[in-house]
Amino acid sequence: MTFPGAVFAFEVRAQLGVPLEVGDLPAGRRRIVPILGGTFEGPEMKGRVLPVGADWQIVRPDGVFELDARYTLETDAGKLVYVVNRGMRHGPPEEPAKVYFRSVPVFETAAPELQWLTRSIFVGTGERYPSDVVIRFWRIE
């Protein structure tokens, strides 16, 4: 048996607001990072990231960011896709090539033509910049 392949689905480029620092909790430091908008594009769909949502993060004592982002995409055809994207990020910020940033998204949509999003497993690979994030989503075959 071989491991299933990954097929590129789409890329999200989202602008982020200033993190709201909630404070230190038993699991780590809680922060909420607003998602201000952005765009997405792939072979089967493109559109914009709506300015509704945030990433509810826990920064663990070992420096790992536990990510829990929730936001909504709107296709150019006006169809909505709700995204819950959980993952983790860690590594030296001054060496972006060494930063590990992976996620597992779940998509919800009522659009019949986008049901492929709800019927597959996806993995995200990300890059964090000072005011935005880029995430590429890959569908596991």
pLDDT value at position 21?
Answer: 96
pLDDT(1) > 90: no
pTM given for the model? 0.92
Between CA 16 and CA 18 the distance in angstroms is 7
Cβ neighbours of residue 117 closer than 8 Å, sequence gap 6 or more: 9, 81, 107, 109
**Domain of residue 53, CATH code:** 2.40.160.20
- Kindly state whether residue 1 falls inside one of the protein's structural domains: no
- Kindly state whether residue 106 falls inside one of the protein's structural domains: yes
Between CA 93 and CA 128 the distance in angstroms is 9
- Kindly state whether residue 25 falls inside one of the protein's structural domains: yes
Domain of residue 96 covers 6-140
Q: Write out pLDDT tens, residues 59-103.
A: 999 999 999 999 999 999 999 999 999 999 999 878 877 899 999
pLDDT value at position 62?
Answer: 94
pLDDT value at position 115?
Answer: 98
Please state the domain count of the chain: 1
- Kindly state whether residue 100 falls inside one of the protein's structural domains: yes
User: How buried is 76 (Cβ within 10 angstroms: 0-12 exposed, 13-18 middle, 19+ buried)?
Assistant: exposed
